[in-house]
Amino acid sequence: MIRVLRGNLISAPRLGKLDVVERGYLVLEDGVIQGVFDKLPETFATAPVTDYGEQLILQSFADMHLHAPQYPMLGMGMDLPLLDWLNTYAFPTEARFSDPDYARGVYRSLAGELIANGTTRVCMFSSLHTESTWVLMEELERAGVTGYVGKVNMDRNGAPGLLQESRSESVRETIRWLDGCRFEHVKPILTPRFTPSCSNELMTELGRIAAQRGLFVQSHLSENRDEIAWVRRLHPDCGHYWETYDKFGLWKDHTLMAHCVHSDEAERAAMRRSGVAAVHCPNSNVNICSGVCPVRQMLDEDVWVTLGSDIAGGDQLPMYRVITAAIRASKNRSIMDKWTTDFLTVEEAYYLGTTSGHRYFGAGEGFAAGDRLHAIVVDDSDLPPGGGPLSLIQRFERVIYLMSSRNITAVWSDGRCVAKKM
């Protein structure tokens, strides 16, 4: 079925480039974008039109790193560094997800909040619990969120008796979980928590499973200096943190690595060579005192950079807040670098929070023909008066900085309208 959406269309096909079509037309056939036009082509003249008036139609967001079972502790424990924060807050909170009924309530509200804030694609960590991970996938599917979810693997340095598996249990449960994943829009991704959490034997098994089943892998990399020193002690044969994944076959195309704050030039080159994507999580990096990621340098070196909320190390779930946090982090980096590096512009950070993440799922550039539509409709009429008529670019910038979920009036995910307020 053909249908047409009309409104002010703004997308970011490439880093730093915006495509803007004022009062344009986006044509869909069965949820698949046929094209964006400033005048409606004759062939589509009889198709039904949903007219969003003066509202903005933007790309929806892709949150490429977050921990679903940390949602209950959002905004807490922010004065602790990573390793203390994990032991004091994160592990006890995640342990509660041994109860799938508890998980149901938390995950239903998380999935609803993601859609309300315009996040339609995710790469997400669950806890180590198989049943609750299925519950998470079900609730995302129900709300209209798409993407990848991983049952976490951790057989050492967790919280024994509370949140840790034996190696054989971890492998057995991972296979049981994978065999039970039958969701249309939410797929499994292998998720060793991070190198200190997984024995060499477990990593070997995970590498084998990834190869046998053709699965993508997500984990953490070079987030914090104490963590990096610890990894070095655990793997004295590896010169770099990334090699501790590579030696087990987990460092490959589409491996997703959160943070990479302290990755040096050699580690960044390894990412580029292998098609590994970095997930920059600016709020988390500041909150748990990890550092300020050199994002501009990574982009200049052609590293694939995406954005993540990293709740609950990050305190903000909405990706428009993560986008502005990425801009602020890069400005801090420029100050630290004595202005030898340029900071991220609004257009660039929006690209990282949209197209760069959507690419992970096979999408093209911006509102590309042939892609299933992922979009949000934004009513900015209640934002502060701009002191005169605003251009679409000015409205776009103001929306990215100031919008909240109340401004999002419709959400399209995988070609379906999954939320609307009108």
Which residues contact Zn ion by CB under 5 A? Answer: 258, 310
| CB of 63 or CB of 310, closer to Zn ion | 310
Hey, which bits of 117-214 come out as E strands?
A: 119-125, 146-150, 152-153, 186-188, 191-192
Considering the complex, state which of residue 8 and residue 126 has its C-beta at the smaller distance from Zn ion.
126
Name the residue nearer to Zn ion (CB basis): 258 or 323: 258
Tokens found for residue 144: 């209209």
Looking at the Cβ atoms of 115 and 152, the one nearer to Zn ion is 152
CB of 122 to Zn ion, least distance (A): 13
- Please state the closest distance from residue 311 (CB atom) to Zn ion, in A: 9
Q: Whose Cβ is closer to Zn ion: residue 55's or residue 287's?
A: 287
Nearer to Zn ion by Cβ, of 115 and 260: the residue is 260
- Among 300, 353, 303, smallest CA distance to 325 is for 353
What is the rounded distance in angstroms from the CA atom of residue 189 to the CA atom of residue 256? 10
Give the separation between CA 275 and CA 287, rounded to whole angstroms. 28
- Cβ 420 to Zn ion shortest distance, Å: 32
Q: Are 64 and 310 in contact (CB under 8 A)?
A: no
Nearest to 55 by CA among 381, 419, 403: 381
- H or E stretch covering 113: helix 100-116
Q: Which residues contact 179 (CB under 8 A, 6 or more apart)?
A: none
Min CB(42)–Zn ion separation in Å:
51
Tokens of 87: 């032991």
Smaller CB separation from Zn ion, 128 or 258: 258
Least CB distance to Zn ion at residue 339 (A): 31
Residue 386 CB, shortest distance to Zn ion, in Å, is 37
DSSP state of 345: P
Q: Calculate ∠ Cα 51-55-57, nearest 5°.
A: 85
Q: Which is nearer to Zn ion, 129 or 372 (CB)?
A: 129
Contacts of 265 (CB under 8 A, 6+ apart): 301
Task: Supply the minimum distance, in Å, between the C-beta of residue 121 and Zn ion.
Answer: 17
> What is the phi/psi pair of residue 103, to 5°?
-60, -40
CB of 160 to Zn ion, least distance (A): 21
Ramachandran quadrant class, 54 (left: phi over 0; alpha: psi -120 to 50; beta: rest): alpha
Nearer to Zn ion among residue 24 and residue 282 (C-beta): 282
| Residue 206, C-beta contacts closer than 8 angstroms, at least 6 positions apart | 153, 174, 190, 192, 198, 217, 248, 250
Q: Is 64 helix (H, G, I), strand (E, B) or coil?
A: strand
CB of 303 to Zn ion, least distance (A): 18
